[in-house]
Structure 1
Amino acid sequence: MKNYDIIFFDVDDTLFDFTKSEQEAFNKVFDKYNLLNSLKLYEKNYQEISKVLWRDLENGKMSLVELGSERFRRLFLDHELEIDAVVFNEDYLGFLGEQSHLVQGVEKVISDLSHKRLAIITNGYTDVQTSRINNSPFEGTFEHIIISESTGFQKPQTEIFDYAFNKLQITDKSNVLMVGDSLTSDIQGGINYGIDTCWFNPKYKENNTSIKPTYEINKLESLLEIIK
């Protein structure tokens, strides 16, 4: 156990169940466009496209604004659908902002750590992430909510951590912990910045990368065993 005073949390698949949130938003937006019956046909293709684009975002090859419409532009091109990808993406993000499905055990963890300084660093859209947090039990819980769209930087870039440290007026990196589910975003970002990291890995994924987190947990409650 270590006496971490400041805990940075990722949002998607760390605090919130993004799979459930995304599925709900998909159902609503595809229903709006009368495409719900074909959703399964598009989903796998969308996931493949999205994975590539989010990796490009992390590597600084595209902006978040570009990613939003580009994923649907490519999807509609693949399936020969004449739909405005920009408008469709706006509708999708609107529905996504309504979703606040929590990861199992997260309410207890946040409650038990309420005596610590808690903050969020998340890659994503400001309106969407803010709406989801405000519609959850965590409204007002976090000292700062740092969102990539607002800062102009995203994890794993060191600049987003500079922004966070300035916001929270942190001078000592040794008592800060970054918690998240993504090796390439959360953990690599923390490592790049010289802070300890905790990889939340509920699906027991194999780590075949050179990225080595300080800790690895499979249940969020295990975080309480790490933090003094």
Structure 2
Amino acid sequence: MKYKVLLFDVDDTLFDFGISEKKALNKTFVDFGLPTGLVDYEDSYKEISRVLWEELEQGILTLSELGVERFRKLFLAHKLEINADIFNSTYLSYLGTEIHMVSGAVDLCNTLADCRLAIITNGFTDVQKSRIKGSPLCDIFEHTIISEEAGFQKPARGIFDYAFSKLQIADKASVLMIGDSVTSDIQGGINYGIDTCWFNPHCKENNIGIKPTYEIRELTEIIKIVGNSKKSLTT
């Protein structure tokens, strides 16, 4: 077996964050008296959020700042008089209850019983722990490494130092980082000197020069990778 330790990203790798985000946003807008808020503001919110998450990865702002700033910018752009702090808190409460698995995630993790499995994710501690605890994968992972607790976010080396310390890993060659984000998961793994697997179910183009060790369309392809000593599976 080539890889003994598998580090999984959470959102859009094991959990379908798109569904969770949409449902949590809709409930929050309804609570704040905007029943059509999701339809009216979702596109704007996603663009604002995308930019802020990129800034988080670059170390420009903190996670707590991101949480409020995304809604502050949204409400400012659309001239809505809503308290961004309270809205964000409500949204995160709902998000922690929205548990939607990516197809094949549960079967895959149950199949990888011979490997050590851990999570390494950027996100809010309470939200991520709540979703994992309420999922079919609640007892699967040896450790759950969350950026808010670690004090670093992917792709920073610090979060991988934290994970390797928690897991007491000495051999980087035995570790595979699996995730959907080229700039976060794959770049982070490359920076740390471990092999990476890019989960790319929607066939996104990669034109930024970050090359994963493997690229897959379905999670079940990981089973073959784990048991294969060659790197010829890269697509």
Q: TM-score normalized by structure 2? A: 0.95
Q: Secondary structure at the match of 1:30?
A: helix
Cα deviations by residue, 1:52-78 (Å, 9 ceiling, x for unpaired): 000000000000000000000000001
Unaligned runs of 5+ in 2: 228-235
Q: Offset at 1:36? A: 1.9
What's the counterpart of residue 176 of structure 1? 175
**1:34 alignment partner AA:** G
Q: Offset at 1:115? A: 1.8
What's the counterpart of residue 204 of structure 1? 203
Cα deviations by residue, 1:134-185 (Å, 9 ceiling, x for unpaired): 0001112100000000111000000000000000000000010000000000
RMSD after superposition: 0.7
What's the counterpart of residue 191 of structure 1? 190
Unaligned runs of 5+ in 1: none
What's the counterpart of residue 45 of structure 2? 46
Taking the TM superposition and a 5 Å limit, the aligned residue runs for 1:104-183 are 104-183=103-182
Give the 4+ runs in structure 1 shifted more than 6 A: none
Taking the TM superposition and a 5 Å limit, the aligned residue runs for 1:10-159 are 10-159=9-158
**1:52 alignment partner AA:** V
**2:11 alignment partner AA:** D
**1:53 alignment partner AA:** L
Q: Offset at 1:38? A: 3.3
Q: Secondary structure at the match of 1:4?
A: coil
Taking the TM superposition and a 5 Å limit, the aligned residue runs for 1:213-224 are 213-224=212-223
**2:161 alignment partner AA:** D
Partners of 1:27 and 1:42 lie apart in 2 by 10
**What percent identity do the matched residue pairs reach?**
60
**1:147 alignment partner AA:** I
Q: Secondary structure at the match of 1:36?
A: coil
**2:134 alignment partner AA:** N
Partners of 2:36 and 2:167 lie apart in 1 by 47
Q: Secondary structure at the match of 2:6?
A: strand
Partners of 2:125 and 2:113 lie apart in 1 by 24
What's the counterpart of residue 232 of structure 2? none
